[in-house]
Amino acid sequence: MAAPAIDSTPQRPRRPARDIIDAVVDNMRKNLEPLKYSTLAASRYTVYLHPSEYARLEGIVPILREQTVRALTEELQKLNRGSLVQRWVDRAVGRVDPQIQSAGSGWQVDFVADPDGDMGEGDLLVDSELLLPSSPDLGVGARTRRVTTVHTGSRTTTREQTIERTETAAAAPVRATIVYEDDSGRHSYDMVKELVTVGRGGIAYPVDIKIVSSPDVSREHARIRRDAATGRFFLIDLSSLGTTLNGRHVPRGFEEVDGSKRENGAETALPDVARIGLADTVFLDFRKVG
Using one digit for the tens of pLDDT, what is the confidence trace for 50-84? 999 999 999 999 999 999 999 999 999 999 887 55
Pairing type for strands 99-102 and 38-41 reads parallel
The predicted pLDDT at position 23 comes to 96
Residue 219: exposure state from Cβ atoms within 10 A (0-12, 13-18, ≥19) = buried
pLDDT band at 168 (very low <50, low <70, confident <90, very high): very low
Q: Is residue 253 a contact partner of residue 266, using CB atoms and an 8 Å limit?
A: yes
Q: What is the pTM of this model?
A: 0.69
Does an H or E element contain 270, and which?
A: strand 268-270
What pLDDT digit, counting tens, does each position of 113-149 carry?
998 877 888 899 999 989 876 554 444 456 788 899 9
User: In the predicted model, is pLDDT for residue 284 greater than 80?
Assistant: yes
Higher pLDDT, 36 or 216: 216
Fold of the 176-288 domain: Tumour Suppressor Smad4 (2.60.200)
Q: Any idea where the domains of the chain sit in the sequence?
A: 17-165, 176-288
Q: Is residue 275 a contact partner of residue 285, using CB atoms and an 8 Å limit?
A: yes
The whole-angstrom separation of Cα 48 and Cα 243 is 29
Q: Is residue 132 a contact partner of residue 144, using CB atoms and an 8 Å limit?
A: yes
User: In the predicted model, is pLDDT for residue 85 greater than 80?
Assistant: no
What pLDDT digit, counting tens, does each position of 174-202 carry?
999 999 999 999 999 999 989 999 999 88
The predicted pLDDT at position 290 comes to 81
User: In the predicted model, is pLDDT for residue 8 greater than 70?
Assistant: no
The predicted pLDDT at position 88 comes to 65
pLDDT band at 4 (very low <50, low <70, confident <90, very high): low
Contacts by residues 273-277 (CB-CB < 8 Å, ≥ 24 positions apart): 274/235, 274/245, 274/246, 275/245, 275/246, 275/247, 276/222, 276/224, 276/235, 276/243, 276/244, 276/245, 277/243, 277/244, 277/245, 277/247
Averaged pLDDT for residues 7-22: 75
Per-chain mean pLDDT for the chain: 86
pLDDT band at 257 (very low <50, low <70, confident <90, very high): confident
Percent of the chain topping pLDDT 70: 83
Percent of the chain topping pLDDT 90: 57
